[in-house]
């Protein structure tokens, strides 16, 4: 099974090709350019350089959320466009689980996934490692750093923070007295090969979908929606 994986949920953007023996190649860019300009050319060049056509790809995987609303929409729209015409299966992967998979090789550690959600919150999930295996400990959620800190105080294991919110989480919670480690820098940012690895699990579980059923998973309302609801609440 070959998987083309896309990651555009945060500042960095990447595409990866996965085969039966694991990762074949990955293109990664953290240039600040909008993903609408970079993601599709990145995927196209990746396939070309690997000598693989889109027809040879079995599954289109994408980080479906949580994350930047615009970034998620770009990633999901790209996956839809690549899959729909050829009726290919899609994998709507949790961005947070995808972040944890590159660190699954650690023995008996808790991976603290953290994406900056603003408003003193992070998008977060916790995973237990087991040497190339992951066990989910919490659902994907938006949680305050204070609440997360109280939760982590109860976990007496090695705790490794990963994601674009890792430094924010690490610095804030270290000041509160928690013992944490930052993931190694090459593995810290969200990446498409983690998405591909998460897609393998979805395929094994029979949880693939078609392009028309692929949707972003935001985990909270956008600022515009929150402001509209507040205006309605105040009777404006």
**Which tens digits make up the pLDDT trace of 106-142?**
999 999 999 999 888 999 999 999 888 999 999 999 9
118 lies in the same domain as 101:
yes
Place of tokens 């690549």: 82
Q: What is the pLDDT of residues 168-212, one digit of tens each?
A: 999 999 999 999 999 999 999 999 999 999 999 999 999 999 999
Confidence of residue 221 (pLDDT cuts 50, 70, 90): low
Summarize the confidence of residues 55-59 as an average pLDDT.
Answer: 97
196 lies in the same domain as 178:
no
Position 154 in a domain = yes
Which of 112, 83, 103, 79 is closest to 8 using CA atoms? 79
How many angstroms separate the Cα of 131 from the Cα of each of 92, 103, 128, 138, 199? 24, 9, 10, 19, 19
Domain boundaries, position 202: 3-95+190-229
- Rounded to two decimals, the pTM is 0.92
102 lies in the same domain as 174:
yes
Place of tokens 């090789």: 105
Q: What is the mean pLDDT of the chain?
A: 93
pLDDT beyond 60 at 223: no
User: In the Cβ-directed half-sphere of 234, how many Cα atoms lie within 13 Å?
Assistant: 6
Percent over 90 (pLDDT), the chain: 87
- Tally of domains within the chain: 2
153 lies in the same domain as 169:
yes
Per-residue pLDDT at 60? 98
Position 235 in a domain = no
CATH number of the domain encompassing residue 86: 3.30.420.40
């Amino acid at each position: 099974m070959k998987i083309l994986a896309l990651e555009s949920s945060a500042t960095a953007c990447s595409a990866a090709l996965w085969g039966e023996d694991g990762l074949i190649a990955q293109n990664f860019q953290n240039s600040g350019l909008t993903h609408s300009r970079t993601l599709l050319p990145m995927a196209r060049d990746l396939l070309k350089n690997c000598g693989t056509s889109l027809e040879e790809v079995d599954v289109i995987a994408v980080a479906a959320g949580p994350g930047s609303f615009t970034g998620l929409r770009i990633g999901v729209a790209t996956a839809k466009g690549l899959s729909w015409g050829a009726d290919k299966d899609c994998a709507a992967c949790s961005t947070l689980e995808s972040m944890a998979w590159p660190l699954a090789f650690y023995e008996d550690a808790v991976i603290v996934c953290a994406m900056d959600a603003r408003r003193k919150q992070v998008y977060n999930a916790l995973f237990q490692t087991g040497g190339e295996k992951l066990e989910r400990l919490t659902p994907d959620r938006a949680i305050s750093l204070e609440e997360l800190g109280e939760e982590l105080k109860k976990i007496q294991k090695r705790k490794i923070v990963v994601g674009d919110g890792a430094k924010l989480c690490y610095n804030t919670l270290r000041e509160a007295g928690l013992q944490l480690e930052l993931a190694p820098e090459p593995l810290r940012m969200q990446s498409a090969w983690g998405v591909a690895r998460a897609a393998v699990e979805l395929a094994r579980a029979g949880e693939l979908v078609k392009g028309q059923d692929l949707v972003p998973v935001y985990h909270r309302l956008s600022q515009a929606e929150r402001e509209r609801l507040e205006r309605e609440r105040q009777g404006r």
